Structure 1
Amino acid sequence: MAFQHSFHGRTSAAVRVTDNPKIIAPVNEGLDVSYLPLNDKAAVEAELKKGDVSSVIIEGIQGVGGIQVPTDDFLQELRSLCTKYQAVLIIDEIQSGYGRSGKFFAHQYAGIRPDMITVAKGIANGFPMGAVLISPIFKPIYGMLGTTFGGNHLACAAAIAVLDIMHDEGLVANAEKVGSYLLEELHKLPGIKEIRGRGLMIGIEFEEPIKEIRSKLLFEQKVFTGVAGTNTIRLLPPLCLSMEEAAEFISRFRKVLGVNE
């Protein structure tokens, strides 16, 4: 089971649980996946009751899907239902993890413990690395997993350095503090349909396409932003973003929107 507007990857089973038929090749279509609405508890239980669901995968916060945040009570209910119906709960924290949300993992806001957690991206600060955290309820057998380049020494050194820097510089707390400021200031701006997110993972949705706004931000204000769909700006700044830099962004964003200081 996966969720509508999800993104989990571009290969093998990861692409199959991604809600985008355009990137699913015939070779990946063998896996039977149900895509359910995010935050719909009744739909989840109805699907799990069928008794044929092996696992449920969900992003801590949907990134490509437009910074859609699963509610805390939904994640808590999801954990309970997965336990009840013996389905493995997998949380994809590749984009929302490693401090991005203002906690080390986004699902920690809900106070739950998943069975598996996927991590990558920020894990080694841009150096290619990914990992899966697996609950001890799954007993490993020697030789069951292997990969030619797994555990690369340079990648592991980079990943350890990232954890040291995050701890020493208080980057998770900084993401929460600066992110809260950005969310507060963004809510003051007119003409925005909805603002979503946590920490330094923020979506700004407009009623109309944002191509012109992003273009002005880039070429006139020298601010690079991400995008989700056609109407949502995606903010994913570095976790070391300062309050002064965040204030500067708000000032430049106001200029693009034509809002007086």
Structure 2
Amino acid sequence: MNLFDVYSLWDIEPVRGKGCHVWDSEGTEYLDLYGGHAVISIGHSHPQYVKAVQDQVEKIGFYSNSVQNSLQKELADKLGEQSGYPDYSLFLCNSGAEANENALKLASFHTGKKRVIAFHGAFHGRTSGAVAVTDNPAIQAPFNKGHEVTFVPLNDVEAVGAEIGKGDVAAVIIEGIQGVAGIFMPEVSFLQQLSLLCNQNGVILILDEIQSGYGRSGQFFAHQWAGIQPDLITMAKGMGNGFPIGGLLISPRFEAKKGMLGTTFGGNHLACAAAIAVLDVLKEESLVKNAEKMGNYLQQELSGIGGGITGIRGRGLMLGVGFLPEFATIRNRLLFESRIFTGGAKNNVMRLLPPLSISKGEIDIFITELKKKMI
């Protein structure tokens, strides 16, 4: 049997990792500035994380959500404390797309409406509702196109206000920082006005923090730079440091009803053990603060390179670096000559999403190699 051939693959197989480094099947070491697509938050194979998962699998790996699971409550308590949302409720699932599906469903349940506002450049997932609010028709099958979604320009308050004013909008969904589009940030003033518009009109504000959350921006969630509190917050990626888990933070204004939401694997024992270990390490090693500090240093060093770089966007350790058209060549040379993983996005943008534990010395290695490749 063959694998369904839908991925473009590098001819590299990482088999081992430690911190911000991975080794391939031939023993070659790579510096990881992509974090497996922003998933590796506390570093590869962190010993505290490894022990937590090992200890849990020796006890019980899974039982359904028809029984008590105290790990879910421990995760909720720690997440509430560290995120600054102790009064919100937590619904656990398996992925970012699933988190967004449940957020959209909950908003529609709550308002009785079905139209959603999303933004040009948005990416929210590939499942039915999530892909409907994703601005990429190429990945929407005919089956996905029955949803009522209106796309408006990012940071355009008047466009959002005009749509909300029609009175039929259930929710607005927005990324804390747009990732796939090439690292575009909602302006602080825009997020503040958007939050006010939604509150005044009974529209649910959904903040997709799947890639931008869990400390990556230098705040626990990227929207916290704007000082707002959305109604629903979706999470995944860095939440489990590689173990599949997603979550939805839910404002106290929402009423839970039995059977309203559900999942087989969401919040299982292994996933919770992994996610608790991530929160413990984030706190004990001050990795959110490190993301802000190292992100500022990385931006500073990138700014000093000059020619060939057309712009630097983002916050913390979620950065987009715009290049002239030779970007693909530079990225390939970084990978195959300098052994450094980076990410790509539209319009010749390099995405840098390293583990939040990255050091100044590791950033210096990257900057030195990048300069060489741009000569």
TM value normalised by structure 1: 0.97
State the match for 1:64 in structure 2. 180
State the match for 2:23 in structure 1. none
State the match for 2:299 in structure 1. 183
CA distance in 1, matches of 2:136, 2:326: 20
Which AA in structure 2 matches 1:257?
M
Which AA in structure 2 matches 1:211?
A
CA distance in 2, matches of 1:85, 1:209: 47
The secondary structure found in structure 2 opposite 1:174 is helix
Structure 1 residue 168 corresponds to structure 2 residue 168: no
Asked if the contact 1:210/1:230 (under 8 Å) is kept, the reply is no
Deviation at 1:9, TM superposition (A): 0.2
Aligned length: 258
CA distance in 1, matches of 2:265, 2:240: 15
Which AA in structure 2 matches 1:193?
T
Structure 1 residue 233 corresponds to structure 2 residue 344: no
Deviation at 1:100, TM superposition (A): 0.6
The secondary structure found in structure 1 opposite 2:320 is strand
Q: How does 1:66-215 map to 2 (within 5 A)?
A: 66-190=182-306, 191-215=308-332
Structure 1 residue 222 corresponds to structure 2 residue 339: yes
CA distance in 2, matches of 1:94, 1:4: 18
State the match for 2:361 in structure 1. 244
Deviation at 1:150, TM superposition (A): 1.9
CA distance in 1, matches of 2:199, 2:310: 37
CA distance in 2, matches of 1:69, 1:164: 28
Encode CA deviations 1:190-234: one digit per residue, 9 max, x unaligned: 221111010000000123251101011111211111000141000
Asked if the contact 1:120/1:130 (under 8 Å) is kept, the reply is yes
The secondary structure found in structure 1 opposite 2:257 is coil
Identify the structure with bigger relative contact order (alpha carbons < 8 Å, sequence gap 6+): 2
Encode CA deviations 1:36-64: one digit per residue, 9 max, x unaligned: 11111111111111111110000000000
Asked if the contact 1:186/1:250 (under 8 Å) is kept, the reply is yes
The secondary structure found in structure 1 opposite 2:344 is strand
Encode CA deviations 1:132-156: one digit per residue, 9 max, x unaligned: 1111100111232221112211001
The secondary structure found in structure 1 opposite 2:350 is strand
State the match for 1:27 in structure 2. 143
Asked if the contact 2:182/2:347 (under 8 Å) is kept, the reply is no
The list of structure 1 runs, each at least 4 consecutive aligned residues, that deviate by more than 2 angstroms after superposition, is none
The secondary structure found in structure 2 opposite 1:34 is strand
Asked if the contact 2:313/2:321 (under 8 Å) is kept, the reply is yes
State the match for 2:133 in structure 1. 17
Gaps in structure 1 of 5+ consecutive residues: none
The secondary structure found in structure 1 opposite 2:341 is coil
Q: CA RMSD in A?
A: 0.9
Asked if the contact 1:129/1:155 (under 8 Å) is kept, the reply is yes
TM value normalised by structure 2: 0.68
Which AA in structure 2 matches 1:234?
R
Which AA in structure 1 matches 2:127?
T
Deviation at 1:80, TM superposition (A): 0.4
Asked if the contact 1:202/1:234 (under 8 Å) is kept, the reply is yes
State the match for 2:51 in structure 1. none
Bigger Rg over Cα: 2
CA distance in 1, matches of 2:141, 2:234: 23
Asked if the contact 1:209/1:230 (under 8 Å) is kept, the reply is no
CA distance in 1, matches of 2:132, 2:318: 25
Identical aligned residues as a percent: 60
